[in-house]
Structure 1
Amino acid sequence: MQTITRNTKETKIKASLEIYGNGVGKIDTKIGFFDHMLEAFSKHSWIDLCIDCIGDTHIDYHHSIEDCGIVLGQLLKEGIYPVSGIERFGNGAVVMDEACVECDIDICNRAFLVFDMSCYGDFRGKVGDFDIELVEEFFKAVAANAGFCVHIYLKRGKNLHHIIEATFKAFALALRRALSPNLRAGIPSTKGVL
């Protein structure tokens, strides 16, 4: 199990992660909707995840959400690299009522994010008091700090809650598949290192 403590002037975060866990999430970021999304991620990735975050939410949620993404990415990187004996690539599409979101992941130690919600139009607005543009900020932070290439795109959807929840679940499913043990894979790269 990996553990990280990250303290800045904006947030204080303590987090731990077990990659091959049971999908148990103990999340307290003081942002209810975000807690719900991280619990869904934990459940569907089968990663045990504990995050306790105290942030400057009186300003807005940006710092807490981005910093939780940084910490999650760092924990994943610490637990995965050097890559060996896993599938490496994973994808998954998750439906939630009218919404369908697909995620593709390459655990390659090269950070990149494609976040395409363009079929929704201008991907702005709120779910309760949660600014939906922060979803992209979270995944940018995860991808950059984990060293993942991640493509997330909305195939269809109208309800913002459904779209965002399908996004977190699709990421979880794709990651779970990419992390699937495969001893025959050795180091899954023609370069011989990831």
Structure 2
Amino acid sequence: MVKRSATISRDTQETRITASVNLDGQGEFRCDSGVAFLDHMLDQVARHGLIDLDIKAVGDLHIDAHHTVEDLGITLGQAFAEAIGDKRGIQRYGHAYVPLDEALSRVVIDFSGRPGLFMNVEFTRASLGNLDTQLFWEFFQGFANHAKVTLHIDNLKGFNAHHQAETIFKAFGRALRMAVAEDPRMAGQMPSTKGSL
């Protein structure tokens, strides 16, 4: 079986990030980005996606978390794109509904090669820990652009902002797990009538 893993480094004047992903992992997670709530959310992605994530990030947090969060999305997107390869034999599409008490979110993803983020979430608080909730959009935009996926994220219910965020990231992990899974019926074929993605 082809090893489906990748390590990407991104160094700018604002951040230094290295992200390793293993699409066929056990949900192992290592990360200390300095943005504790984001680390907690990415742990959900790893655990529920059964994707190993190992992230080292240093950013200009003395300003705010914006550059770190956005660049983490970019770097992870690049790592996923490299790990998935030419996409032959994968499911391609993934979706998940995830509840947490009163909150319910839906995430749908397509490894289409056409980047797009369609996010319908109204957080009930402006921040969680030291993380501005507006930055979740920046994270997912960076991921979608660089993994070259179409990504729909909808929070359908919820009044606790922590629950809203957690259902989104858990559903994201589950949708990723479904989309990147190998499909034995495809037998290495491209999941597109165009012949490429």
Say yes or no: TM over 0.5. Answer: yes
Report the Cα offset of residue 49 of structure 1: 0.4
Aligned equivalent of 1:21, options 21, 25, 30:
25
Q: Does the 8 Å contact 2:6/2:83 carry over to 1?
A: yes
Q: Distance in 2 between matches of 1:7 and 1:106?
A: 28
Aligned equivalent of 2:117, options 113, 117, 120:
113
Aligned equivalent of 2:86, options 76, 82, 85:
82
Q: Does the 8 Å contact 1:5/1:14 carry over to 2?
A: yes
Gaps of 5+ in 1: none
Q: Distance in 2 between matches of 1:19 and 1:9?
A: 30
Q: Aligned residue for 2:50? A: 46
For each residue in 1:90-135, what CA deviation from the matched residue of structure 2 results, as whole angstroms up to 9, or x when unmatched? 1001111110000001111110110001xx4x76601122100101
Q: Aligned residue for 1:156? A: 157
Q: Aligned residue for 2:10? A: 6
Q: Aligned residue for 1:187? A: 190
Query: Which residue identity is paired with 2:130?
Result: D
For each residue in 1:30-77, what CA deviation from the matched residue of structure 2 results, as whole angstroms up to 9, or x when unmatched? 111111011111111111000111100010000000000000000000
Within-5 A mapping of 1:25-104: 25-104=29-108
Q: Does the 8 Å contact 2:36/2:129 carry over to 1?
A: no
CA RMSD of aligned residues (A): 1.2
Query: Which residue identity is paired with 1:14?
Result: T
Gaps of 5+ in 2: none
Q: Distance in 1 between matches of 2:145 and 2:11?
A: 19
Q: Does the 8 Å contact 1:85/1:188 carry over to 2?
A: yes
Runs of 4+ residues deviating >6 angstroms: none
TM-score, normalised relative to structure 2: 0.94
Q: Distance in 1 between matches of 2:21 and 2:85?
A: 14
Aligned positions, number? 191
Q: Distance in 2 between matches of 1:124 and 1:115?
A: 17
TM-score, normalised relative to structure 1: 0.95
